[in-house]
Copies of this chain bind each other. A is one copy, B any other.
Amino acid sequence: MFEAAELGRKLSREEFDSIAPQLRNELLELQHQLRGADFPVIIVFAGVDGAGKNETANLLSEWMDPRWIVTRAYGKPSDEEGERPLYWRYWRDLPPKGKIGLFLSSWYHAPLVDRAFGKISVAEQDESLERIANFEKTLADEGALILKFWMHLSSKAQKKRLEKLEKDPLTAWQVTDSDWAHWKMYEKFAAAAERLVMHTSKGHAPWAIVEGQDSRYRSAVVLTAIRDAVAKHIEARAVAKQVAAEIKKKPAAKAKAKETVLDTQPSILSSLDMTLAVEGQEYVQQLQEQRGRLAKLHQKAKERGVSTVLVFEGWDAAGKGGTVRRLTAALNARDVQVIPIAAPTEEERAQHYLWRFWRHLSRAGRVTVFDRSWYGRVLVERVEGFCSEEAWRRAYAEINDFEAQLAEHGTVLAKFWLHITPEEQLARFKSRETIDYKKWKLTDEDWRNREKTPAYEIAINDMVERTSTRLAPWTLVEANNKNYARVKVLTTVCDALEAGLKKQKK
């Protein structure tokens, strides 16, 4: 694979100067155009030590407008980073639409080095590489342009390069013992790199292998490739927009199948016993009991650094707010964070839709409560047509992957759908209209949503089918009786915490 990057390709100074000024202008011009674009550019530099990753990154930063490009490099996870799932730091650093993010020693670092050192097996490396492929696909599916450059040096060239750096007193400090240790393991690194490139070179995120020995050749190749790819992507997005608009016009695409007997089948919500209730003294007692249990369990989780993420979804007026309040009341305010999900902010709109959930993941031992969540994509966005069918269909896999990362990190995750019957909802709406201090809670939108109940039922059923997994199960809560719902939620959270703590012990 890498033999084609050991040919001694090089450019003389004159050759380089014959293309550099124009290339630089074009890059700047493209960067300017990019500012109005609806996608970010993600550039990854990786490869053999000494093959010029840093030098090329520096040149790129020097040539471009620094306000619209940001370079990130990663070392060992910081305390802050280590307390969250591995990819949290990468999500945090993703460039918004219109900007370029340049990543050094990125998500590719560990799967390469750990495999070269034999810390992980081939199958484990493949698992890391599949996670990478999913990550990049998730970003590319929303439009991101992803470019990856593997800078290569032969074993001989790497040795020469290290020796040259060592000789010069000004650069000798750059060469560390670990550089030489890695060089001695050249073959192992090459084998791990080959598998890495093979498994993660995809149409939407291809690797370009670059001969790294000659800095002028290397820079010219990389910068030319970036120029061409950005120009092509800007054009492709414009064409795609046009095509989508034309397809929308076609009458056939809109034709809706007639309703048949299949459309009147029960959904998963119909399996709930909506008469379940708990009242009076029994309620007070159970609530107290579970709150005490929660306080104790959370104390243990906090000591052990186990985080908790709770997701609340449900019909309008199903009692999410009240339930969340009963729950948080059992916890120390400093340990819990409630995130109400409404319309995204300007900053959030400039990012992938999952970005704003990743950013809210708390440090170790904390409880994060999402009042509405990433499931908006497969609920309201699907029903209201705010995103394409393709987008909400692929969201199930994206969400499963996100939640699998939480689970792997040891985070306790519980997801609740608070269900009330249409009759109960109507009664609650009406009561809200008449009680002054509750009036503000009822909007015209609530009435409009109510008309879409059948469409929501289908969406909820699909959501449970696709995202209720062993790692992250849904709990459907019979919430016609608020007391019952509150006790059930509290009990489920406690059970999940207990199970999570037990698992961690193993």
Cβ–Cβ contact B124 & A4, under 8 A: no
Q: A397 — which chain B residues lie within 8 A by C-beta?
A: 198, 201-202
State whether the Cβ of A394 lies closer than 8 Å to any Cβ in chain B.
yes
State whether the Cβ of A220 lies closer than 8 Å to any Cβ in chain B.
yes
State whether the Cβ of A73 lies closer than 8 Å to any Cβ in chain B.
no
Q: A266 — which chain B residues lie within 8 A by C-beta?
A: 7-9
The digit string for A266-288, where 1 denotes a CB below 8 A from any CB of B, is: 11101100000000000000000
Stretch at the interface among A166-174, A462-470, A498-506: A462-470
Stretch at the interface among A46-54, A257-265, A335-343: A257-265
State whether the Cβ of A130 lies closer than 8 Å to any Cβ in chain B.
yes
Stretch at the interface among A11-19, A289-297, A367-375, A434-442: A11-19
Minimum CB distance partner of A462 in chain B: B4
Distance in Å: Cβ of A449 to nearest Cβ of chain B: 22
How far, in whole Å, are A107 and B7 apart by their CA atoms in the complex?
A: 43
Q: A228 — which chain B residues lie within 8 A by C-beta?
A: 257
Range of interface residues on chain A?
Answer: 35 or more
Which residues of chain A in 88-130 are interfacial with respect to chain B, using CB atoms and an 8 Å cutoff? 121, 123-124, 126-127, 130
Cβ–Cβ contact A239 & B235, under 8 A: no
How far, in whole Å, are A397 and B464 apart by their CA atoms in the complex?
A: 34
Minimum CB distance partner of A244 in chain B: B243
Cβ–Cβ contact A5 & B465, under 8 A: yes
Choose one: B235, B246, B253; the contact of A252 (CB below 8 Å). Answer: B235
Minimum CB distance partner of A476 in chain B: B3
Q: A468 — which chain B residues lie within 8 A by C-beta?
A: 1, 3-4
- Write 25 A-B pairs (CB below 8 A) sorted by A numbering: A3-B268, A3-B468, A4-B268, A4-B462, A4-B468, A5-B465, A7-B267, A7-B268, A7-B271, A8-B266, A9-B265, A19-B261, A121-B123, A123-B124, A126-B130, A130-B130, A198-B397, A198-B400, A201-B397, A201-B466, A206-B393, A217-B265, A224-B260, A228-B257, A243-B243
The 6 A-B pairs with the shortest beta carbon distances in the complex, nearest first, are A4-B465, A15-B261, A123-B123, A9-B265, A4-B268, A4-B464
Interface of A with B (CB < 8 Å)? 1-9, 11, 15-16, 18-19, 121, 123-124, 126-127, 130, 191, 194, 198, 201-203, 206, 209, 217, 220-221, 224, 228, 235, 239, 243, 246-247, 250, 252-253, 257, 260-262, 265-268, 270-271, 390, 393-394, 396-397, 400, 461-462, 464-470
